[in-house]
Structure 1
Amino acid sequence: MQRHINDILQQVPSGRLMSVDLLRGLAIAAMVLVNNPGSWSYVYAPMAHAEWHGWTPTDVIFPLFLFVVGLSMVLSCGRSRPFPAVGWGQWSRALKLFALGLFLAVFFYNFRDDTYNWVQDRLEGIRWMGVLQRIALVYILCCYLVRWLSLPGLVIAAVLCSLIPWLMMLFLPYQNAAGETFQGQLAFGNHFSAWLDQWLLGAEHVYYRSAEPFPFDPEGVLTTFAAASTCLLGVLAGLVWKHSAADRTSQLRLCRNWALGGAAMLLVGQCLHPLVPINKALWSPSFVLVTAGVSALLLSGLYYLVDIRERRRALAPLLVFGVNAIALFMLAGVVGRLLIMLPVGDTTLKGWLFHTVFQPLFGSYGGSLAFAVSSLALFYLVMWQMYRRRIIWKV
């Protein structure tokens, strides 16, 4: 194990903020873990999303990743270089991310149903939005905002990206098919963002197709603009680093500023909850503040631990995930779908593994968690082979 840790740390480039790679690795590892339980019927509460209003640790994971996307946009330029002009490089990355998301949307076939129509189910009813699609859209939007705006402009943009969609949900009227008018509704299936998703994307192309009165997508169109505010807060955290010095005193001050900013956002967001509900699907302003606050606190803690104190060994394995985050997400997505596609008797390969191996050994909830942990461990072996061969899958 010691040799394994040494091999990981030897490949870290000098001068690189290891804390950011670790934070990205933590986000993607947590995302894979909560997305691959042995059974969705047996999931511990902290590993499930809040039913509607409110938040759990799982609700922080996707915003944490977007926060790191914004942070990385600044760090990739270093302290001295300006932001590059937005060109084919940025658009290529966004288009490839969007295309990978669409690939996962259509990568499924029900081999247990002889009447299954893949074209009708997956192609004609493709889900246009998703995690990777949202990352792509947020990334390219923030590339332009970072290029065009000054620091005060970015602060204003971060506020407006969150505030304008929320005000639209509160004050713009909308109608259902029967002509009934609604305004200011924030219920599951009945809010302005859901109406907009149905109108722009189509009821057959969203995640919650059976929601009433409006099918909608948790990664919908309007809330993607709100999600950009999370990425911009990551950009602002990066700009704090960019304008700080590299000496130890400045490092400690930077760590303190991140921690204070994170604690303030978390506190304000939580206090707003009675007036502005914390809601991931709506990506409400309070949700932005709470999740960005947690992200900044995690960044501060990791920065202090691994970049200032250089206590790196215990967390080093997260680097293997952090440098190949999209590769891990795709691997987990493809394998996860294969496990529910391949039939074993009257169930699927995943169902067979859970009911015959994990559930008898660990119980229902413990077995479901053990399945997720085992999956992540297997994915780690693949990511480690890529890491040690310096194979970085960049999109």
Structure 2
Amino acid sequence: MVKKRIESVDILRGITICAMILVNTPGTWSAVYPPLLHAKWHGLTPTDLIFPFFLFIVGISIYFAYKHKTPTKNVYKKIAIRSFKLIGLGLFLNIFIPYFPFFKDFETLRFLGVLQRIGIVFFVSAILYLHFNWRVLAGITVAILIIYWFLLGFIPLPDGTLPTFNRAANNWAMYLDANVLGKHMWQPDYDPEGLISSIPSIASCLIGILIGTLLDQLKNVQPLLLISLAFLILGYTLNFWFPINKAIWSSSFVLVTSGWASLILAIIYYLVDIKSIKFGRIFKYVGMNAITIYFLSSFISKTFYLTSVGETENIHSFLFQNIYVQSFFSAEFSSLLYAITVVAFYVLLGYILFKKKIFIKV
């Protein structure tokens, strides 16, 4: 008997994509509620959970997609093609403005980004999964987190100074990004999807693979709850020595976000897959075409910002100022209302694609 699809994974994926769109498309960046912004440096906001949640879900998806696969040339080819598609889509968003074929200035073009990191993490994690059992993968994950902590916290920089985790100072993640990527970064001093910080993000995905292994054998939700609690305790404890930090994807950040992801998945799994409660089905529609909807939302958002309306406005600002800005709303609420409308549009799109049985594989 074929085991039915675990709906809670699709629902959590859809919630994550909707959250990505929500925090990426406020009416105005000058009026955003603090939970919908990233932490300025150390710390954790709800927004900081979104990307690691997605990589965690990528790991679960890798487990179910490749659990019966063997490492053949054809499988490697498919993994590589999918990875290059993700990287290519990310570069497309960074390189092209909507009025093809004009390009951004190459001297300051950002090379990395969300889709590029997903592509890199997917490639490495899928290859590792094809070759190693869950015990080895767990060992690799632990090794990544310990070595990364040691590298960033204890290995002197080339000028002999000891690294720190403060933004005002420097560490190997920031140092290598600055010296390899140069001006091709998101910020002058670091890139949140940088080179070295991509390594612990692989650990986030490997943890997802391990959770996928558990889900495939799960008869009740207690083991998943215990694992989530263990991750949270370990992560918040490690925070005293290696601060929770999304920008450099610290080891404590990996553990804490994996803990919250496991906990939320456990709750949805209990409600949907165990109790068969019709909860969050609307997000499942988005989750079934997650990358496609995320890419479209990013591309259309860029188009809105870059398409002029009159002499002083673009499509985005025109819609926001003329529809959502009202005297009886606060600026923050108006900004949030715009973002919610955008999310509702993509939920509707996801529903239409689902009903028409259109599932675009990237």
1:362 shift after superposition: 2.8
2:42 to 38, 44, 53: 53
Does the 8 Å CA contact 1:138/1:231 hold for their aligned counterparts?
Answer: yes
Q: 1:240 to 1:107 in 2, by over 3 A?
A: same
Aligned residue for 2:268? 302
Q: For residues 219-251 of structure 1, what are the alpha-carbon distances to aligned partners after superposition, in whole Å with 9 as ceiling and x for unaligned?
A: 001010010001011111111233x2xxxxx52
2:161 matches 1:193: no
2:255 matches 1:289: yes
1:237 to 204, 211, 217: 211
CA distance in 2, matches of 1:330, 1:236: 27
CA distance in 2, matches of 1:82, 1:119: 41
Q: TM-score, normalised by structure 2?
A: 0.93
1:144 to 107, 117, 127: 127
2:196 matches 1:222: yes
CA distance in 2, matches of 1:371, 1:14: 40
CA distance in 1, matches of 2:102, 2:31: 29
Aligned residue for 1:247? none
Q: Secondary structure at the match of 1:71?
A: helix
Deviation larger for 96-105 or 181-190: 181-190
Query: Given residue 163 of structure 2, which amino acid in structure 1 is its aligned partner?
Result: G
CA distance in 1, matches of 2:83, 2:104: 27
Does the 8 Å CA contact 1:83/1:146 hold for their aligned counterparts?
Answer: no
1:272 shift after superposition: 2.2
1:307 shift after superposition: 0.6
Query: Given residue 226 of structure 1, which amino acid in structure 2 is its aligned partner?
Result: P
2:157 matches 1:174: yes
1:276 to 225, 242, 245: 242
Does the 8 Å CA contact 1:59/1:280 hold for their aligned counterparts?
Answer: yes
2:28 matches 1:39: yes
Q: 1:120 to 1:354 in 2, by over 3 A?
A: closer
2:15 to 19, 22, 26: 26
Aligned residue for 1:96? 85
Q: Secondary structure at the match of 1:43?
A: coil
2:338 to 359, 363, 371: 371
CA distance in 2, matches of 1:109, 1:335: 9
For structure 1, the residue ranges without an aligned partner over 5 or more in a row are 1-12, 111-116, 210-214, 245-249
CA distance in 1, matches of 2:260, 2:71: 29
Aligned residue for 2:187? 208
Deviation larger for 127-136 or 381-390: 381-390
Pairwise CA RMSD: 2.1
1:164 shift after superposition: 1.8
Q: For residues 73-97 of structure 1, what are the alpha-carbon distances to aligned partners after superposition, in whole Å with 9 as ceiling and x for unaligned?
A: 112246xx35554510000000000
Q: Secondary structure at the match of 1:187?
A: coil
2:293 matches 1:328: yes
2:359 matches 1:380: no
Q: For residues 46-65 of structure 1, what are the alpha-carbon distances to aligned partners after superposition, in whole Å with 9 as ceiling and x for unaligned?
A: 11111110101111110110
2:311 matches 1:355: no
Q: For residues 255-301 of structure 1, what are the alpha-carbon distances to aligned partners after superposition, in whole Å with 9 as ceiling and x for unaligned?
A: 11111100111122112222210000111111111000001011111
CA distance in 2, matches of 1:319, 1:14: 18
Q: 1:126 to 1:308 in 2, by over 3 A?
A: same
1:124 shift after superposition: 3.9
Query: Given residue 289 of structure 2, which amino acid in structure 1 is its aligned partner?
Result: N
Aligned residue for 2:163? 184
2:277 to 285, 290, 311: 311
| Percent identity (aligned) | 35
For structure 2, the residue ranges without an aligned partner over 5 or more in a row are none
1:350 shift after superposition: 1.3
Aligned residues: 356
Q: 1:31 to 1:155 in 2, by over 3 A?
A: same
Q: 1:14 to 1:372 in 2, by over 3 A?
A: farther
2:114 matches 1:131: yes
Q: 1:14 to 1:384 in 2, by over 3 A?
A: farther
CA distance in 2, matches of 1:239, 1:263: 18
